[in-house]
């Protein structure tokens, strides 16, 4: 049974409940024994669940939408720092291998990032991992939450997500900061997940659209990863010379820099159009 795309021969309301539950249950399974990889899997599933929730929002009671969205967002926020630290460690190793960082600076940065990761894992455990997993089950939509859902609701939800993305793009054009690009990326990710699960409804068009949106989201993700890496390097109190090297490498030598450049170029072109 497909878990990430819609089945056209099933009632729409039940199918969207199934898709939403499937993502929360994937997150629930991934957090049985959390490590960097499983937390990343859980975080991606939580993000997809929010995209589905936004897609069906026009057919969901407003109070129920706010309740579930608030809960799912809270779960995602607890998982984010672990993934950011894992990315920073990978980039640190790459820069050391390329000779950008001195061994001493790499050790200091790695020690700080590992401590940050350990602290994030400790917060997750202290907050009650079992309680977090229970929250994921509690937040599942009930069978009758989407009763009466039809295609017009999905069309409206898809259009609203796309419009929100256009607004965030306009913000990034006006001020192309890493924060603005990250806000745009969140909406791009939501829209991409929605298009991907609807591919069976119109494969010749939606399959290519899903790939294009995923590529854009990856490029914007590179920008966020590099910005977060630079932030952690600053907090690690590296010597000024090494910190300058980190910032220069983030712009010119880190993994993802080419895709990141294309994303920023796209913002520049949008500002000229």
Locus of tokens 């745009």: 184
| Tokens linked to 242 | 């090494």
C-alpha span between 143 and 253 (Å, rounded): 50
pLDDT of the residue at 134: 92
- Which residues 6+ apart lie within 8 Å of 192 measured at CB? 51, 210, 213, 214, 216, 217
pLDDT in tens, 53-83: 999 999 999 999 999 999 999 999 989 888 8
* pTM for this predicted structure: 0.87
Report whether 223 contacts 254 (CB < 8 A): no
pLDDT in tens, 166-194: 999 999 889 888 889 899 999 999 999 99
C-alpha span between 38 and 30 (Å, rounded): 5
Q: Measuring CA to CA, how many Å separate 253 from each of 97, 225, 246? A: 12, 13, 10
């Amino acid at each position: 049974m497909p878990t990430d795309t819609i089945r056209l021969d099933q009632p729409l309301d039940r199918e969207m409940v199934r898709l939403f539950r499937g993502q929360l249950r994937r997150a629930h399974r991934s957090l049985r024994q959390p490590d960097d990889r499983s937390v990343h899997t859980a975080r991606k599933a939580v993000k997809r669940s929010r995209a589905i929730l936004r897609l069906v929002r026009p057919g969901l009671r407003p109070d129920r939408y706010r309740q579930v969205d608030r809960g799912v967002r809270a779960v995602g926020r607890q998982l984010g720092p672990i993934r950011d630290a894992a990315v920073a460690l990978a980039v640190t190793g790459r820069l050391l291998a390329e000779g950008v960082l001195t061994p001493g600076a790499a050790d200091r940065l790695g020690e700080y990032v590992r401590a940050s990761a350990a602290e994030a894992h400790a917060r997750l455990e202290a907050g009650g991992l079992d309680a977090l997993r229970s929250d994921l089950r509690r937040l599942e939509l009930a069978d009758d939450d989407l009763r009466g859902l039809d295609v017009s609701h999905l069309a409206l939800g898809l259009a609203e997500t796309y419009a929100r993305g256009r607004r965030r793009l306009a913000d990034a054009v006006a001020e192309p900061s890493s924060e603005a690009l990250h806000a745009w990326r969140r909406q791009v990710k939501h829209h991409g997940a929605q298009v991907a699960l609807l591919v069976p409804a119109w494969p010749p068009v939606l399959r290519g659209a899903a790939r294009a949106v995923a590529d854009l989201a990856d490029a914007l993700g590179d920008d966020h990863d590099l910005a977060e890496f630079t932030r952690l390097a600053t907090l690690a109190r590296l010597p000024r010379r090494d910190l300058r090297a980190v910032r220069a490498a983030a712009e010119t030598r880190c993994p993802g820099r080419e895709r990141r450049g294309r994303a920023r170029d796209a913002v520049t072109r949008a500002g000229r159009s």
